Amino acid sequence: MSSDLLLAQLINGVGTGLIYFLLAVGLTLIFGVRDFVNFAHGAFFVLGALLSWTLLEHGMSFWIALVVAPLVIGLAGFVMEPLLIRRFYNVDPAFQIVGTIGLTLVIQEVATMIWGPANRSTQPPKSLQGLVDLGVVSYPTYRLFIMGVAVVVGIALWWLIERSRFGASLRAGAEDRDMASCLGVNTGMLFAITFAIGVGLAALGGVLAAPTRGLNTGSSSEVLGIAFVIIVVGGMGSFLGAFVGALVIGVAQSLTITFAPAYGSVVIYIAMIVVLLVKSDGLFGKVTRVR
């Protein structure tokens, strides 16, 4: 086992983890604000990827697709929240899951009507193809770009939640809805925006992931599984948890593949079970509210 390989796998693990972070952070944001378990989250990831494929097929540049697709999905989320999602908030978590499974089915079938069931994948833009020499290992430019985007998004989100007025209202609304409302916070608008941001982030993850792998309308469950594992490991509703959880899972997966490749995809579930045994709410989870 050479230290070069180990280092390469570690970097790769961090890279994969950062992609996972983009996927998971939207989910944990939505949960943190409204205790809403969105089992349709994977579907938005896939929608973002498919939409970017369509835009690219029509000749638009990758950069435009990168901005437009998440915006469109985010807008759709902004409209969907007051119409449908809001009604789920007071429902038992088990029912939220079943209801959003239903939503996933609807989105999946609509997507299949539009895009067909076949695999779609895109190419990274010419400017991002190629490799960057990191000394020990050469890493694809495009993957470094994704990592960069994830870090920038992470910092921007952190600033938004912790340092901005919007974030303050958000945290207030999450903690005590009625009080925040009394204090003049438009909680309805707040939650709509939060949901929009959450699904927009998932779509962004999809747009970024599409050049590295194929996606079809049935991919949402696989993506969802990873997202949920991460936010459970990191602690539901915790932004820092999503970040740390994603990195932990990404690196754990990468290292497992180095030593025991066949266990690469099951290790994330075993890791989750282990973490939950040790700390029942995940690494940074808040006290579980009894449902």
List the interface residues with other proteins, window 65-124 (CB under 8 A): 84, 87-88, 91-99, 101-106, 108-110, 112-113, 116-119, 121, 123-124
Minimum CB separation of residue 220 from other proteins in Å reads: 11
Residue 13 within binding range of other proteins, rule CB under 8 A: yes
**The one among 203, 208, 229, 249 contacting other proteins by CB under 8 A:** 229
User: Which distant-in-sequence residues (6+ apart) come within 8 Å of 162 by Cβ?
Assistant: none
Q: Which of residues 163-202 bind other proteins (CB under 8 A)?
A: none
**The one among 12, 28, 52, 169 contacting other proteins by CB under 8 A:** 12
Contact 248, 17 (CB under 8 A): yes
Minimum CB separation of residue 23 from other proteins in Å reads: 12
Closest CB to other proteins among residues 106, 155: 106
Residue 125 within binding range of other proteins, rule CB under 8 A: no
Number of Cβ within a 10 Å radius of residue 77: 25
Minimum CB separation of residue 107 from other proteins in Å reads: 8
**The one among 58, 126, 165, 291 contacting other proteins by CB under 8 A:** 291
Closest CA to 239 of 49, 21, 5, 3: 21
Interface characters, 235-274, with other proteins (x: CB under 8 A): -x----------------xx--xx--xxxxxx--xx-xx-
User: Which distant-in-sequence residues (6+ apart) come within 8 Å of 160 by Cβ?
Assistant: 166, 167
Closest CB to other proteins among residues 71, 91: 91
Closest CB to other proteins among residues 26, 99: 99
Minimum CB separation of residue 247 from other proteins in Å reads: 15
